[in-house]
Amino acid sequence: MRLFISVLATTAMILSASTAFAAATWSVAASTSDGSPLDAVTQGAQIILDITLRTDDFAFGIAGSVNDYDNAIVGLDAGASLISASVLNQVCIPGAGCFAGLTNQVGGAITFEERTNTGPGPEAEFLAALGLTAAGGQGALDPGIVTGVAGDPQFRIIYTALTPGTTTMQIGTYEEYQDGYTGTVDSIANNTTLQITVVPEPGTALLMGLGLAGLAAAGRRN
């Protein structure tokens, strides 16, 4: 992984003289398995992150992750998550595959898992792709990892709501987590964030309420 970052950094230095802007852009559509809102996710529900990558450039390499969240509040479900084997493909043919893109090393040489030693907080890296030549596409032709439809999200990363509380999830390419992006024009990444609030299960909240009511009644009797 250190070699991957080193090569990205070297390529970025070579291309840094350009004054044009053609950034990579990350976006996320979030939902929950039980339909609860993101500001009141039911404890125990799944938090589903459908993540899309686009660029106006042609990338030599890019890494992406979900990071900086409180892993006591939300926990990665690596087994349920879905990750594209390649991104930024120039052509995709149903039944034959995609070509002239960047191969994703995560899920192959790099295990998809949560790590706590790559930055200031937890990180789940879902993309690490590097090519000797620039990718031929910009993301719009990549098939959706769930739907198979060109242009749909290339990644579905799933977390479980563990304990009540609020946390912010960073999604994209973050230098402080040793992620990098290098295009033929620049190395700018437009990232995104998502705030999640987990609340107790309805039954748990009811029991807590009944317990408090019982204590109050006992106090009055005494």
* Spatial CB neighbours of 183, under 8 Å, sequence gap ≥ 6: 15, 22, 23, 24, 55, 57, 58, 59, 60, 134
User: How many Å apart are CA 92 and CA 100, to the nearest integer?
Assistant: 9
More confidently predicted of 18 and 68: 68
Residues 6+ apart with CB under 8 A from 79: none
pLDDT band at 221, cuts 50/70/90?
low
pLDDT at 213: 52
Confidence check: pLDDT of 134 > 80? yes
Three-class secondary structure of residue 137 per DSSP: coil
More confident residue, 85 or 203: 85
Distances (CA, A) of 63 to 96, 191, 193: 26, 12, 16
Q: Return the pLDDT at 9.
A: 47
Which pTM was predicted? Answer: 0.84
What is the mean pLDDT of the segment spanning 81-92? Answer: 98
DSSP 40: G
88 pLDDT more than 70: yes
Asked whether the predicted pLDDT for residue 121 surpasses 50, the reply is yes
Give tens-digit pLDDT for 152-199: 999 999 999 999 999 999 999 999 999 999 999 999 999 999 999 999
Cα separation, 197 vs 54, in Å, equals 28
What's the one-letter identity of residue 212? Answer: L
pLDDT of residue 65: 98
The answer to whether residue 100 scores a pLDDT higher than 80 is yes
Please report the pLDDT score of residue 202 as a whole number.
86
pLDDT for residue 22: 74
**Sign of the four-CA dihedral 30, 111, 69, 60:** negative
Contact 62, 129 (CB under 8 A): yes
CA 43 to chain CA mean position, Å: 21
* Chain centre distance of CA 153: 11
How confident is the model over 90-110, as a mean pLDDT?
Answer: 96
Containing structural domain, residue 13: 2-221
Model confidence over 6-32: pLDDT tens digits?
555 444 444 444 445 679 999 999 999
Of 114, 137, 111, 139, the C-alpha closest to 53 is: 139
CATH number for position 60: 2.60.40.680
d(CA 27, CA 25): 7
Number of domains in the chain: 1
Residue in the block written with tokens 């595959």? 97
> What share of the chain has pLDDT > 90, as a percent?
79
Q: What is the pLDDT of residue 3?
A: 42
The amino acid present at 153, given as its one-letter code, is P
pLDDT of residue 125: 98
